[in-house]
Amino acid sequence: MKFPLLTTLSLLSALPLAAQQQDTLHRLPEVVVKSYLSKESLLRIPTAVSVLSPQQLALQQGASMVPAFNSIAGVRMEERSPGSYRLSIRGSLLRSPFGIRNVKIYMDEIPLTDAGGNTYLNLLDPVVLSGAEVLKGPDGSLFGANSGGVVRLDVLPPAGDSSRLEASVQGGSYGLFHAAAGYRQQLGNYGFQLFQGYQQADGYRRNTTMKRSYTQLGQRWEYKPGYVLKMLGFYSDLGYRTPGGLTLAQLDKDPRAARPGSMALPGAVAQKAGIYNRTVQGGLVHEAQFSPRWQHVVAVFGANTHFENPFITNYEARDENTAGFRTYLSWINKPSASPLQWRWQAGMEWQRTVSDIINYDNDNGVRGAERAADKLTAGQRFYFSRFHAQLQRWTLEAAASMNYYHYTYNRDGNTKVAFTPQLMPRLSLSYLINEQLTGRVTVSRGYSPPATAEVRASDNVINTALRPETGWNYEAGVRLLPLSRRYSLDLTGFHYCMQDAIVRKLRDNGAEFFVNAGGVNQTGIEAEGTLQLLTPRSRGLVRGLELRGSYTWSDFYFREYVSSGKNFSGNRVTGVPRTVVVSGLTMYLPKAVYVYVAHNYTSSIPLNDANSAYARGYHLMQCKAAWQLPISGKCKVSVQAGADNLLNQSYSLGNDLNAVGERYYNPAPGRTYFGGINVAL
């Protein structure tokens, strides 16, 4: 679409000029990135990184992570029904019929992603998230195997001498109810946090009821200067129904319907199709600052998951147990008399996930006769090292990891499948053009082995022929970030040449399996920018006005892909919109009132590998108004109200790709409303 592209580029190119016309300097805290094992200025980071701040998260509805992550260029998050998250970074969702794969996610130093490559992000209550950093593109230098990217979540409050009790209640359309309460206290060098959240929703379509109860405990104890022991643990009980996809004719007839039955198979309502997940996960992190130059960090973690999935064709039950550790050593050299400053890190991460999987007949939502039972053990370990140096205006990073991955299964004896160890290097270089502008280039290698759910998909076949995805990524970018924060710009262009892309297929009965599709070329442009149209002031009707925008252009196509005698080479990669433009305007008014309006344009999306069916493009608009009541004392009370999909667009926030019978569509609700109250002491 030419109009969104020209509009966005015009806006971003105007940022410095518009800001220079403002007279008063308004300095904000420096933006720092913590994902690279130390706090570093975002301006000098030589890679593509996006940061979700607490302020940005507070602008969103609060009951879903989707709008916040979709505001980031290159990121696509979907929620086909309440609680059913999918997430991709610079890629398609071909590998993820549900859940998250090919993206590594960490909570502090603790991986949320298990050894089998799966991440249950939907277990977390959205309110517990206080910030996030997204590292785009393959970055296995510190985080192991992936070709999509890495997400680091902040779920613990920063250390500080304070105590705080906070509670919130929110309601909305289609039975939405969300309540959360948290308490944190700092007693000298010991900090404590307890959080409890509960959410339920009826959903727009039939068979979309969702309930989640989430409890999190965190502690931070600096038992002597420079030595810190942290604990993080949570328990989540999540259940939601899955309505299934509709054909275009079924969508036009009744968009609120669940997948109907047929002569061959019953429907989603009759089978009580859904997901039920009870997980307890936690870990300990120890940080030891031996000296101003030497630091050692070690984390041990584990998780237990009981997972059930009554589906149209079968009933699957899984018990998963994960254990692992992560450790690294840092050396920092900052000589006062030398212009060269450098740091070096080296470490390793090890994980093991054991999955006991049993499939039964699904007798109207009840386990029937046993069909298949397997025990799969996924094991991975990687060793990593990173060298970071700054010499005046230059920043150089050279990093690499050596990755080992295998899985074993017990069908017809105990069989081990081990992949060849893979080196994932990354070389990044940036140059500080002036005090607010840097240019950067990066070359990195991606590597992503098949996940457990791809090796043993719902067709109950152990697919030992599935190969890992690999490829080389080349990118260049510029980052504009002055101290005043009046404006900012981050522009990136990349080309990722992938081999052996993993693609989901479906058998005639709806059971899924995965194949290697050959080569895929991923070329794209990502731009993010902010502009203070009106700097904060104490007088007038409008006290502040801030514009934030992002633009994503994705030219992704199959390079070599032949399947079942059909040649899909040259086709667009399934599930990827060519253009996404997101913008948000925040207006600050007197009496502690603000209004936030956001717009998301997403272009058409190919729904199958043949590119014979497309989902139409759509425009989403969201608004929210909040008011902090004028109450004196330590108690702070704020109320909020808003609406989603103001234009009442007909669209699917998540499609079933390559669906049998052309059941691609998962209709999202039209215009919806929400409101709530927050109390803090």
**pLDDT averaged per 10 residues in sequence order, the chain, 681 residues:** 41 38 46 85 93 92 92 95 92 79 92 95 95 89 88 83 85 97 91 96 96 97 95 97 96 96 91 97 96 95 97 94 97 80 95 96 95 95 95 95 95 89 96 96 95 89 93 96 91 96 81 87 97 86 94 95 88 95 96 96 96 96 95 90 97 91 95 96 88
**Sequential DSSP letters for 90-147:** SS-STT-SSSEESEEEEETTEESB-TTSEE-GGGS-GGG--EEEEEES--HHHH-SBS
413-471 confidence digits (pLDDT tens):
789 999 999 999 999 999 999 999 999 999 999 999 999 999 998 888 999 999 999 99
Q: Specify whether the CB–CB gap between 401 and 141 falls below 8 A.
A: yes
Q: Specify whether the CB–CB gap between 62 and 170 falls below 8 A.
A: yes
268-288 confidence digits (pLDDT tens):
999 999 999 999 999 999 999
Q: Going by C-beta distance under 8 Å and a sequence separation of 6 or more, which residues neighbour residue 334?
A: 341
Sign, Cα dihedral of 149, 120, 181, 205 = positive
Q: Specify whether the CB–CB gap between 53 and 29 falls below 8 A.
A: no
pLDDT for res 141: 77
At 341, the amino acid letter reads Q
In angstroms, the CA 373 to CA 317 distance is 10
CA distances from 278 to 41, 156, 516, 680 (A): 39, 22, 32, 30
Q: Which two tokens stand for residue 591?
A: 């009496």
In angstroms, the CA 165 to CA 182 distance is 6
pLDDT for res 443: 96
Q: Specify whether the CB–CB gap between 332 and 340 falls below 8 A.
A: no
- Provide the residue ranges of all domains of the chain, joining segments of one domain with +: 2-680
**Sequential DSSP letters for 255-292:** TTPPPPP-SSS--TTTTT-EEEEEEEEEEEEEEEE-SS
At 309, the amino acid letter reads N
Q: What are phi and psi of 121, to 5 degrees?
A: -65, -30
Cα-only R_g, the chain: 25
In angstroms, the CA 44 to CA 389 distance is 11
The architecture (CATH level 2) of 2-680 comes to: Beta Barrel (2.40)
SS3 (DSSP) at 506: strand
In angstroms, the CA 320 to CA 117 distance is 13
